[in-house]
Amino acid sequence: MKFEFKNPKAKQSPLYYIISRNRKGHKIRLKYPAGFTIDIKHWNLTKQRVREVKGIPYGSYNDKLKLIEDTAELIFKNNDYFELTPEVVRQKLDAVLNRRNGRKLKGKETDLFKFALELHKNEELRVGEEGAKHLKNSIERLKDFDPHLDWQNINYKLYVDFVNWMNKQTWSKNYCGKQIKNLRKIIGEGFKSDKIDTPVHLTFKTMSEKVYNIYLNEDELTKLYKMKLPKAYERVRDLFLVGCWTGMRVGNFLNIEHRDIDLKKNTISAMVLKGGGKLVLPIHWMLREIIEKYNGLPESVSEQRLNRFIKEICKAAKFNDIVMTEKTISGRKKKIYKEKWEMVTSHTCRRSCITNLHLRGVPLSTIKLISRHETEAQCKEYIKEFLHDEVPQEVMELDFWNNKAVGTKSG
């Protein structure tokens, strides 16, 4: 018995547990789903386990794999082999793992998770799929932590256990903080709806830290624009540049329609994801050329596809300066070294626009009108990142660095 991928040649694939037994001609062949999909590069074939990779819940995944293995072994150990069939084995696995036909049983969700999913639906209607994705992700993480979590389990011990569990997944401090923030949101709404009697969520402390994020300067953006690329990559590059010259959130600039563009007035519009309202911006010269090339904007792509392709494009552009960052992972500070292209994502667009506006001398109060941050302090967070990595010109020009000291006078 072993685990195998459904599509071993794909980048990502569902994982299956392959049961193959034959005793005196009585054959049992069963392909049982592990219940999740992973990148094939994250799989350790020898150990038959998910590798310890930051950013994925490998601990939870491996616990599921062990449970499937142990359950299968007990089924064959505690039953007459010749009375077992593939379907009987499947039914017994489903019963222990709370699944039907290889999937988690619907209708078995606790009231807390039903409430959380309804909250997500309402959030999705309010801010769109992109704006609500973090809440949906947190609901899945809570299910990984405890699929039976319900309102009677809500107490401070839950918070402590959840934080300890997340630290074992080697997630960053900021990612863990987002999960706590959304847990507080769910429980807070539950308190308002009389699901619990006390606002215990207020004692759940969120955690966060400042991390260094890169931006692309105007010379780098121009270099990207001038690159000759295959059509699929060219389309992604041009969409990326739309974000860099508007400063819009990714959910906005990937969903701009032809009717949102007014070339006569030289403006482009979007409905703001957070806070609502309409955003109208002037069209940058590079953006105008992109619009004229496509007679609008290129066909949109998913955020995942954009992130994957833009890294490859930036690698080809030789954005390979070494960037040192520091993150708290599992409660410990760690230095991380990456080439610049590896750190480029859809969020780089917004940072690049805001930082380049700042470098042009645009006042923060004006930048805030473009970025639509609620406060100047929030807007400033996007600007100051670059200051850690660039030496001011007046410091570079000090003759302290190049002139040898003649000597010092003795007293």
Give one DSSP letter per residue of 52-87, joined into a string.
--TTS-HHHHHHHHHHHHHHHHHHHHHS-GGG--HH
CB neighbourhood size of 166 (10 A): 24
329 bridge partner residues: 172, 332
User: Among all chains, which residue has been given the structure tokens 């002037």?
Assistant: 282
Contacts 24+ apart (CB under 8 A), 30-33: 30/86, 30/89, 30/90, 32/68, 32/72, 32/90, 32/93, 32/102, 33/102, 33/103
Type of residue at 388: H
Phi, psi (rounded to 5 degrees) for 268: -135, 140
DSSP tag of 375: S
pLDDT per residue as tens, the chain (411 positions): 789 998 888 888 889 999 998 888 888 989 999 888 888 999 999 899 999 887 788 888 888 898 899 888 888 888 888 888 888 888 888 877 776 554 444 446 789 999 999 999 888 777 666 668 889 889 999 988 888 899 998 999 999 999 988 887 778 888 899 999 999 999 999 999 999 988 999 999 988 877 778 899 999 999 999 999 999 999 999 999 999 999 888 888 888 888 889 899 999 887 766 655 678 889 999 999 999 999 988 888 888 889 999 999 999 999 999 888 777 776 677 788 889 999 999 999 989 999 999 888 888 888 888 888 878 777 777 775 545 556 666 777 777 777 766 555 544
Instruction: Note whether 268 and 256 are within 8 A (CB).
Output: yes
Structure tokens at 257: 């329609």
Element (H, E) at 167: helix 156-168
Q: Encode pLDDT of 72-113 as tens digits.
A: 888 888 888 888 888 888 888 887 777 655 444 444 678 999
CB neighbourhood size of 174 (10 A): 15
Instruction: Note whether 133 and 304 are within 8 A (CB).
Output: no
Distance between CA atoms of 99 and 32, rounded to whole angstroms?
Answer: 11
Structure tokens at 1: 């018995």
Distance between CA atoms of 380 and 355, rounded to whole angstroms?
Answer: 9
Distance between CA atoms of 290 and 268, rounded to whole angstroms?
Answer: 13
The pairing of beta strand 49-50 with beta strand 2-5: unpaired
Distance between CA atoms of 236 and 389, rounded to whole angstroms?
Answer: 28
Instruction: Note whether 204 and 191 are within 8 A (CB).
Output: no
Rg of the chain (C-alpha set): 26
18 bridge partner residues: 2, 31
pTM for the structure as a whole: 0.57
Give one DSSP letter per residue of 77-134, joined into a string.
HHS-GGG--HHHHHHHHHHHHTEETTEEPTT---HHHHHHHHHHHHHHHHHHHHHHHH
Structure tokens at 225: 């624009």
Q: Which of 169, 140, 159, 168 minimizes the C-alpha distance to 207?
A: 159
The pairing of beta strand 43-44 with beta strand 322-329: unpaired
Structure tokens at 126: 């309010």
Distance between CA atoms of 199 and 191, rounded to whole angstroms?
Answer: 6
DSSP tag of 172: B
Q: Encode pLDDT of 110-156 as tens digits.
A: 899 999 999 998 887 776 666 688 898 899 999 888 888 999 989 99
